[in-house]
Chain A
Amino acid sequence: MIWWKHNISFRPAFTDRWLCWLLRAGAITAALIMVLILLFLLLEYWPAFQKISPVRFFTDDAWYPLEDQYNLLPMVTGTLYASSGALLLAIPLGIASALFMAFYAPHFIAVVYRRLIELLAGIPSVVFGFWGLTTLLPIINQWEPPGASLLAAILILTLMILPTLALTSYVALTAVPKEYMQAATVLGLSRWGIIYGVVLPAARKGIVAGGLLAAGRAVGETMAVLMVAGNVVQHADSLLAPIRTLTANIALEMAYAMGDHRAVLFVSGLLLLFLVMALTSLAGLLGKEHHG
């Protein structure tokens, strides 16, 4: 320990400088990839830019790309409804699961429960989609046809992001220093008082980061949603109405699209990127709020 302390009081060691440049190179590469993706999407849209002005993606009557109508707005709302609905369901469930694992469950049960959640996180999305198509849709269909709906998309997405939320929240909760809890216990707080007043605020950043990760997955999920959401391009007027998300739009039509139709599908991708950017900044704000 002593020699180590002694060492860092000098100029940074050779390895440190190497590491510093290595990390810089890594960071620049990551940022560059992001910029390249943006450029790529813009470049693919460019051939159609002269004919189809960006305003038309929000003002056209509907989405019939082969009949020269390019309204993407219903798919933006579809994506937002589906992923925010899923977050609304998954966040309380995820945090509750994490609290259960960290504070309430006996050790053995907590371990088994965590293994189960980890298993859930590893299931490929297409399996969820297939289950939804063959099991969930017929159930919803008996209640209100056609079954394929915003509700089905929300439920499938909830199942998919729940493990992410539960596991990241759990990690955030267990990272709270033991001293905080000891101090709170000494002050005579109840268990719920400690959790609500001390642990949750201290773990806030980690939980928000997990939420952001989950939101990103929900917005970007394609196959599972494609299989259960119905994919009709419309603003959902109820939970049981079919919707199409931006990702599903790309997956459904890209393989068969030509010319302008193809170029506009890249705008779907651009919108998706902007949506994720907005989400990231929002999470940044939420994360700061209490500390600022």
Chain B
Amino acid sequence: MRGWKQPGWRYAVTSTIAVLVLSGLCTAVMATSHKLVLTGSSTVAPLAAELGRRFESMHPGVRVDVQTGGSSRGINDARKGIADIGMVSRAIKPNEQDLQAFTIALDGVGIIVHASNVVASLTRQQIADIYTGKITNWRDAGGKDARITVVNKAEGRSTLELFLAYFRLKNSDIKPHIIIGDNQQGIKTVAGNPFAIGYVSIGASEYDAQHGVPIKLLPMNEVAASVANVRNGSYPLARPLNLVTRTAPTGLVKQFIDFARTEQVHDLVEAQYFVPASVH
């Protein structure tokens, strides 16, 4: 975890410095090109940092610098050439077709409730109704008589984007009771509230659920929310994790992307609770 930086101010500072250094030493960097800069999704960043560490050990003299800031920033930085590679935790949109995308792993978004909740499954319509405030009591969704605490994500997060797109909702339609930032905050919030419902990355939540955190993942369209089902493509609420570049990758960038898609890094992908993409 040491290799990647927290988003926010430090990101702003480091990216500013990176821009200054890059523009100032442009020719020098172009000539030697021993540094790879990756920016973007905080979901991909820990994986990218691990990949970078192994890549560095295989290519002495190369430095891989990973910075977070969200998928949209990954797109933006790759497009402007601020970063060599952008990290994007969703499928590429139609207006982003100018970029080259390479899927390195898959991640599913799972609906989580407290482990003590008697509700075993919810339909797509029920979940949408809960999030839009049409169902406010677990009684109306097959559970106990208790008010539902709706946990939503903060605006700008790709998990929120994926969730909204799947349920065809707008963020202003949602009636949340708690708004959270990252996955861990979501898991802790639901674990501490017997009547909460939230949605987080399946990789992280499946691991926590198996290791004693009192949460459970609900199936989606009768498909269990598990890493296995994300891998075989049957789980509907899933997203690809992409590396994007402005032009067809060459040299060191190509080496890194090819490396990230080989079988020899599957252990790293799985260690982050993601699902490896198909082998090339």
Contact = CB atoms under 8 A, between A and B. Distances in A.
Contacts of B172: 62, 64, 67, 69
Interface residues of B, number: 35
Contacts of B205: none
Interface in B64-100: 68-70, 72-73, 76
B42 A230 contact: no
Nearest to B72: A258
B156 A253 contact: yes
B178 A242 contact: yes
A146 B148 CA distance: 8
Given A230-B177, A231-B178, A252-B181, A146 B171 contact: no
Interface string B138-164: 000000001101000011111000000
Determine which residue in B147, B154, B180, B193 has the highest number of CB atoms from chain A within 10 A of its CB, and name it: B154
Contacts of A251: 8, 181
B16 to A, nearest CB: 12
B189 to A, nearest CB: 7
Contacts of B146: 145
B155 A66 contact: yes
B278 interface: no
A66 B164 CA distance: 13
Interface of A: 62, 64-67, 69, 133-134, 137-138, 141, 145-148, 226-227, 230-233, 242, 244, 251-258, 261
12 contacts: A66-B156, A137-B193, A138-B192, A141-B192, A226-B181, A231-B178, A242-B178, A251-B8, A252-B179, A253-B154, A254-B8, A255-B7
The 5 nearest A-B residue pairs measured at CB? A255-B7, A256-B156, A256-B70, A146-B149, A231-B179
Given A253-B154, A256-B154, 16 more contacts: A64-B172, A65-B155, A65-B156, A134-B192, A137-B192, A146-B178, A148-B177, A232-B178, A232-B179, A242-B179, A252-B179, A255-B7, A255-B8, A255-B68, A257-B156, A258-B72
